[in-house]
Amino acid sequence: MINTKRILITVIHLLSASFFSIKLFPNGGPVDGSSLNSSGNIFLKNVKNVELISEKLFFKPLKSCINVKVSYELNNSGDIQTIDYGFPFYNISYNERDNGSEVSSVYQEFSNQDSDIIKDFEILLNGKKTSSMVYVDKLGKSEIKWYLSKFELKKGINKIDVSYSAKAKFCDWSTSKCPGVSYSKRTFSYNLKPAGSWGNGILPKFELTVDAGYIENRKGDIQISFSGKTEKKGTTYKSTATNIDLKQAKPINLTYDISKYFNALEDQSLSPIKNISEINASSSLQGNYKPENLIDAGYSTAWAEGVSGQGINESINIKFKDSSNIKIISILNGYQKTAETYFNNSRIKKVKLEMLISSNDITKIEIREIELKDHSRDDFTPVFQYEYDQNIRNPRQSLITADDFDYEYSIKSVKITILEVYPGSKYEDTCISEIIAF
């Protein structure tokens, strides 16, 4: 259940914002094997006869996440030995300031949230995939999420490869007046210190590569704080350094800003009718439930299908103007005027999209089926209106994003067909508040 008191405090300071409060300080190293079964007691330990020879780090920042790959070369000067290895992610609560006003810290625990902060974690030893155990270690007001593995290091050169996707830290804004979002810059930190537990803690050779193509192709800015020598070729940054004292090394901080690009798209979405040449539906409920309500940029109106039952196989057809360049389609599902209108009426559970897409001078039909999430009554939060307790803040859900096809594609038309619904508690009618296309 959402903490209403915390939300109200945040509202006073900020109006509305979407926070991401995790600071990720990842890098791997050997851990004390005797501590793995003790809560709050997982610590890095020094392994003197295994030297870290090189570390190659790769970042690819995207809209709100960073794809990370890191490759270590280690020299085991002793016999074959078993090592407990840990890769930690640190979660620390913090305070933000905006326009001089302090914002209450927003702290999301690893143990109490969906696992979308860190995704697709994979670790390989000498080219072979290795299993890892996930363990959340609480330390006061912070947490460490460990990925723990057991390695058998052969004598001589060993290679460890780690890859994952992590959410960046950001603070995106929205209000109840329209479904638009105001995007902010993204930040990501990478701490080199944990790898200082190998050998004497000195890293002879380090290389950082940042693929900034996604950012710079969208006219975004990117900054990399690293003391080594940096060169740029195209949209790729490469930094190198030698003989780094890892125990004294400062974190590598990556900051990127594509807010102008996405805020411009949001501005377009606030007047979606400019991009649409035609909208119609297979049926509409009598009264003010016409398909034009889907593009009026508001929560208080909705389209409702007009047939008996829940509207299975009823559809909406949208044709975009030739001059438009539609890449994103989102939906505000259900009748979102109030909590009662939302739950009294049916909402879409599964939808089919039939899109006419133009890409690199080729026109084709693309068909996709998408399942949408519903909301429980515990999901209700204030939407910053006077009768906030009667409203639902239900974020829009993506049907098509800017990353689903190649960069040059454009959607020319779409047919949206209802396949399955979440039934309403009072009425069968299936409703949609808004279709956002830009």
pLDDT at 128 over 70: yes
Query: Model's pTM, two decimal places?
Result: 0.62
pLDDT band at 360 (very low <50, low <70, confident <90, very high): confident
pLDDT tens digits, 139-155: 666 778 888 889 899 99
Domain ranges (residues) in the chain: 4-264, 271-437
Tokens 């133009």 map to which residue? 358
Statement: residue 78 has pLDDT above 70? yes
Q: Are 28 and 162 in contact (CB under 8 A)?
A: yes
pLDDT in the model for residue 68: 94
Q: Is 2.60.120.260 the CATH classification of the domain at 271-437?
A: yes
Query: Residue 166 is encoded by which pair of tokens?
Result: 């992590």
Which pLDDT does position 41 carry in this prediction? 62
Q: Both tokens of residue 266? A: 């949001």
Residue 356: burial class (beta carbons within 10 Å; 0-12, 13-18, 19+):
middle
Q: Does 92 have pLDDT greater than 80?
A: no
Name the band, by pLDDT with cuts 50, 70 and 90, for residue 393: low
User: For residues 233 and 240, is the Cβ–Cβ distance under 8 A?
Assistant: no
Q: CB atoms < 10 A from the CB of 293, how many?
A: 22
**What pairing do the DSSP bridges indicate for beta strands 202-211 and 50-61?**
parallel
Q: Give the residue among 344, 271, 328, 335 at the shortest CA–CA distance from 303.
A: 335
Instruction: Specify the pLDDT at position 429.
Output: 96
Residue 8 pLDDT exceeds 50: no
Give 161-214 pLDDT, tens digit per residue: 999 998 888 877 765 445 567 788 998 989 888 888 899 999 999 999 999 999
Q: In angstroms, what is the C-alpha Rg of the chain?
A: 25
SS3 assignment for 129-170: EECCEEEEEEECCEEEEEEEEEEEECCEEEEEEEEEEEECEC
Q: Please tell me the predicted confidence (pLDDT) of residue 351.
A: 96
What pLDDT does 386 receive? Answer: 33
Cα 356–Cα 361–Cα 362 angle in degrees, nearest 5: 50
Q: Is the pLDDT of residue 100 over 80?
A: no
Domain at 4-264, CATH class: mainly beta
pLDDT band at 157 (very low <50, low <70, confident <90, very high): very high
pLDDT at 407 over 80: no
Helix ranges (DSSP H) in 194-322: 213-216, 259-269
State in Å, rounded, how far the first CA of the chain is from the last one.
33
Cβ-contact 279, 294 below 8 angstroms: yes
User: For residue 9, is pLDDT > 60?
Assistant: no
C-alpha separations of 437 from 2, 92, 263, 271, 400 in Å:
30, 37, 14, 10, 9
Count of other CB atoms within 10 angstroms of residue 80:
10
Q: Are 289 and 306 in contact (CB under 8 A)?
A: yes
Q: What is the pLDDT of residue 296?
A: 82
Give the pLDDT band (50/70/90) at residue 276: confident
CA dist 279 and 265 (Å) reads 21
Q: What's the pLDDT score for residue 1?
A: 27
Q: Which two tokens stand for residue 73?
A: 């070369």
Nearest one of 67, 146, 90, 143 to 112, comparing CA atoms: 143
What's the pLDDT band for 338 if we cut at 50, 70, 90? confident
**What b/e string do you get for 389-426 counting C-beta neighbours within 10 Å, with b at 16 or more?**
eebbbbebebbbebebbeeebbbbbbbbbbeebbebee
User: 111 or 335, which is more confident?
Assistant: 335
Task: State residue 21's pLDDT score.
Answer: 38
User: How do residues 17-72 score in pLDDT, each as one tens digit?
Assistant: 333 334 455 777 777 655 555 445 667 788 889 999 999 999 999 988 899 999 99
352 or 359, which is more confident?
Answer: 352
pLDDT tens digits for 298-336? 778 899 999 999 999 999 999 998 878 888 888 889 998
Amino acid at 290: K
Q: Assess contact for 204 and 240: CB atoms under 8 A.
A: no
Q: pLDDT > 70: what percent of the chain?
A: 76
